[in-house]
């Protein structure tokens, strides 16, 4: 069985074709700058990369190019599109409707569209990817996996905001969370690594990438997570501010004469590491600049670390303890010093790193000291594999 995993964004389509027998990646690629000058596709097969530069007017043309590339006689990995048994789509927001992956039908599509009010940047292009694939691969089942689904187990007192209750009733204003597929994957994996049932564990999973979130996983279920109604709340991120006094929003809008859209853009795209450092949203650039003595880069780094620490502390309190902490995603898997800083001075919680074991990038490794009460792990995330596994389960 072969499953194509699609992550369709506003101007890009990320894809992986996975052979489910061996769970191996046959091909992975990216179509970018859709509808913009300089559009291109890059695909990797067994470490060999190809690039195609051509005009890609819309997602339909982009997806046709993906299929052509996958089935190309010389560079392709399948001889016909009919070999693709199912397509698994990453959908950011499933709102209150979805607590697991589903086979897509008209009703599912309508609900994804309805949830677009909560994820206006993500759900519309996700839906566009689904519709294009339905048209180009009518033989294949389409499956949706929601970033918010894992967090549907959060208790009411955690997912509610202390706003007038009518706002929840009228507009479904509440915490939904995101990165659920990743948090679920690494939580399950760490339980396996520890040879303990996940139902017996209290785990804090730190997904630290360009977008970043922390989740408290209690007895195998998401209990709390740092992202909220939208992926803006919580940690300091590449370009997102994370937690903020809500009163700062109208204050800034008035002082800077910004409309709601402009304010939203400021908080989502001009803040975080980029906004503080004035240099870059990329943690590697921030790390280098800080090492050269740039004070604002150092401040951005310290704020990032401090916020993660704060969430680890509060989730430990909320769960009345923690058995394991997991670092994943670009920063979590690779930034050795940053993990060290996050875990420093947490010995009162029983958290101690082993600096030799921590000298690792992108490989599943236990990095805590032998005497640490809390196990600390690096676990590379694999959201595509979760989506493919869910799709396989549903069509089986």
d(C-alpha 335, C-alpha 339), whole Å: 6
Could you tell me if 327 and 377 are in contact, meaning their C-beta atoms sit under 8 angstroms apart?
yes
Rounded to whole angstroms, what are the CA distances from 80 to 2, 6, 92? 12, 18, 30
CB of 192 to ligand AMP, least distance (A): 22
Binding of residue 329 to ligand AMP (CB under 6 A)? yes
| Element (DSSP H or E) covering residue 49 | strand 48-53
Rounded to 5°, angle at Cα 10 from 5 and 15: 20
d(C-alpha 16, C-alpha 333), whole Å: 21
- Edge-to-edge strand list for the sheet holding 141-146: 48-53, 40-45, 24-32, 13-19, 2-8, 84-91, 141-146, 102-103
CB of 283 to ligand AMP, least distance (A): 3
Query: Which is nearer to ligand AMP, 126 or 382 (by Cβ)?
Result: 382
Binding of residue 341 to ligand AMP (CB under 6 A)? no
Query: Which is nearer to ligand AMP, 88 or 330 (by Cβ)?
Result: 330
Residue 198's SS3 state is helix
CB of 328 to ligand AMP, least distance (A): 8
Q: Is 154 annotated as a binding residue?
A: no
Judged by CB under 6 A, the residue of 102, 116, 127, 331 near ligand AMP is 331
Task: Kindly indicate which of the ranges 51-59, 172-180, 294-302, 327-335 contains the residues binding ligand AMP, using the contact rule CB under 6 A.
Answer: 327-335
CB of 361 to ligand AMP, least distance (A): 6
d(C-alpha 334, C-alpha 328), whole Å: 8
List binders of ligand AMP among 175-234 (CB under 6 A): 209-210
Burial of 143 (0-12, 13-18, 19+ CB in 10 A): buried
Q: Is 267 annotated as a binding residue?
A: no
CB of 285 to ligand AMP, least distance (A): 7
Total residues binding ligand AMP (CB under 6 A): 12
Could you tell me if 69 and 43 are in contact, meaning their C-beta atoms sit under 8 angstroms apart?
yes
Q: Is 90 annotated as a binding residue?
A: yes
Report residue 312 as tokens: 């680890």
Residue nearest to ligand AMP (CB): 330
Binding of residue 335 to ligand AMP (CB under 6 A)? yes
Phi-psi region of 14 (alpha: psi -120 to 50; beta: other; left: phi over 0): beta
Could you tell me if 2 and 17 are in contact, meaning their C-beta atoms sit under 8 angstroms apart?
yes
Residue 392's CB: how many other CB atoms inside 10 A?
A: 18
CB of 313 to ligand AMP, least distance (A): 23
Query: Which is nearer to ligand AMP, 231 or 238 (by Cβ)?
Result: 238
Question: Annotated catalytic residue: which of 99, 107, 147, 224?
Answer: 147
Query: Which is nearer to ligand AMP, 236 or 283 (by Cβ)?
Result: 283
Judged by CB under 6 A, the residue of 7, 334, 358, 368 near ligand AMP is 334
Q: Is 14 annotated as a binding residue?
A: yes
Identify the DSSP state of 368: B
Catalytic site includes residue 58: no
List binders of ligand AMP among 121-180 (CB under 6 A): none
Catalytic amino acids?
A: 147
**Which residues of the chain form contacts with ligand AMP (CB under 6 A)?**
209-210, 238, 282-284, 287, 329-331, 334-335
Binding residues: 7, 14, 90, 207-211, 282-284, 330-334, 383
């Amino acid at each position: 069985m072969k499953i194509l995993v699609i992550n369709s964004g506003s101007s890009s389509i990320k894809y992986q074709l996975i052979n489910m027998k061996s769970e191996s990646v046959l091909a992975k690629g990216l179509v970018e700058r859709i509808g913009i000058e300089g559009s291109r596709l890059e695909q990797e097969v067994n470490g060999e990369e190809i690039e195609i530069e051509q005009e890609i007017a819309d997602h339909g043309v982009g997806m046709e190019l993906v299929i052509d590339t996958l089935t190309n006689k010389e560079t392709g990995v399948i001889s016909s599109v009919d070999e693709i048994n199912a397509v698994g789509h990453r959908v950011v927001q499933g709102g209150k409707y979805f607590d697991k992956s589903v086979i897509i039908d008209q009703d599912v599509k309508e609900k994804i569209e309805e949830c677009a009010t909560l994820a206006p940047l993500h759900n519309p292009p996700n839906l566009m990817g689904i519709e294009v694939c339905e048209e180009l691969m009518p033989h294949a089942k389409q499956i949706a996996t929601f970033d918010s689904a894992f967090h549907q187990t959060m208790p009411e007192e955690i997912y509610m905001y202390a706003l007038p209750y009518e706002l929840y009733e009228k507009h479904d204003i509440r915490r939904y969370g995101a990165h659920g597929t990743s948090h679920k994957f690494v939580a399950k994996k760490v339980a396996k690594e520890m040879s303990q049932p996940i139902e017996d564990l209290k785990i804090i999973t730190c997904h630290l990438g360009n977008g970043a979130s922390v989740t408290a996983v209690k007895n195998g279920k998401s209990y709390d997570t740092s992202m909220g109604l939208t992926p803006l709340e919580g940690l300091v991120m590449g370009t997102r501010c994370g937690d903020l006094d809500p009163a700062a929003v109208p204050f800034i809008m008035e002082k800077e004469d910004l409309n709601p859209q402009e304010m939203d853009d400021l908080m989502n795209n001009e803040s975080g590491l980029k906004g503080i450092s004035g240099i870059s949203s990329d943690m590697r650039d921030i790390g280098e600049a800080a090492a050269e003595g740039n004070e604002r880069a150092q401040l951005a780094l310290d704020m990032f670390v401090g916020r993660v620490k704060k969430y680890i502390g509060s989730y430990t309190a909320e769960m009345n303890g923690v058995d394991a902490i997991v670092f994943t995603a670009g920063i979590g898997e690779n930034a050795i010093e940053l993990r060290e800083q996050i875990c420093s001075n947490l010995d009162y919680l029983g958290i101690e790193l082993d600096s030799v074991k921590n000298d690792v990038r992108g490989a599943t490794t236990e990095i805590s000291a032998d005497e640490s009460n809390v196990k600390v792990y690096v676990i590379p995330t694999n959201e595509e594999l979760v989506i493919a596994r869910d799709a396989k389960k549903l069509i089986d």
